[in-house]
Copies of this chain bind each other. A is one copy, B any other.
Amino acid sequence: MNLKELSKLLGLSPTTVSRALNGYPEVNAATRMRVTEAALKHGYSPNLLAKRLATGRTLTIGHVVPLSVHQMINPIFADFIAGAGEVYSTSGYDMLISVVPPEQEHAAYRKLATQRGVDGFIVHGPTVTDPRIALLQELGIPFLVHGRGGPSESNYSWLDINNRRGFLRATELLLDLGHRRIALLNGHETMSFAARRRQGFDTAMAERNVPVDPALLRSEEMIEPFGFEAARQMLSLDRPPTAFLVSSMMIALGVLRAAQERGLEPGRDLSIVTHDDDLSFLPNHGAIPLFTATRSSIREAGRRAAEILIEIMTHPGTGPRQELWESDLTIGLSTGPRPKET
Contact = CB atoms under 8 A, between A and B. Distances in A.
Contact of A89 (B77, B79, B99): B99
Nearest 8 CB-CB pairings of A with B? A85-B99, A78-B78, A75-B75, A73-B82, A260-B260, A72-B280, A48-B115, A49-B53
Interface stretch (A8-16, A90-98, A128-136, A202-210): A90-98
A251 B49 CA distance: 44
Interface of A: 43, 45-50, 52-53, 56, 58, 60, 65, 67, 72-75, 77-79, 81-82, 84-86, 88-89, 94-100, 104, 108, 111, 114-117, 221-225, 250, 253, 256-257, 260-261, 263, 280-283, 286
Contact of A67 (B74, B77, B86): B86
A46 B85 CA distance: 28
Contact of A260 (B94, B99, B223, B261): B261
Given A73-B79, A75-B281, A89-B108, A94 B96 contact: yes
A82 B82 CA distance: 15
Contact of A97 (B95, B108, B261): B95
B49 A116 contact: yes
A97 B72 contact: no
A260 B258 CA distance: 10
Nearest to A94: B96
B65 A58 contact: no
B47 A49 contact: no
Contact of A85 (B48, B98, B283): B98
Given A65-B85, A95-B97, A115 B45 contact: yes
B67 A58 contact: no
B85 A78 contact: no
A2 B148 CA distance: 35
A48 B117 contact: yes
Contacts of A52: 49, 52-53
Most buried by B among A56, A82, A225, A281: A281
A91 B224 CA distance: 33
A282 B224 contact: yes
A96 B50 CA distance: 18
11 contacts: A46-B115, A48-B116, A53-B53, A73-B79, A88-B99, A89-B100, A95-B99, A96-B97, A224-B282, A225-B286, A257-B260
A105 to B, nearest CB: 11
B85 A281 contact: no
Given A45-B111, A49-B58, A74-B78, 4 more contacts: A48-B116, A73-B78, A96-B97, A224-B283
Given A82-B67, A85-B99, A98-B95, A73 B280 contact: yes
B223 A281 contact: yes
Nearest to A248: B281
A98 B94 contact: yes
Nearest to A117: B48
A285 to B, nearest CB: 9
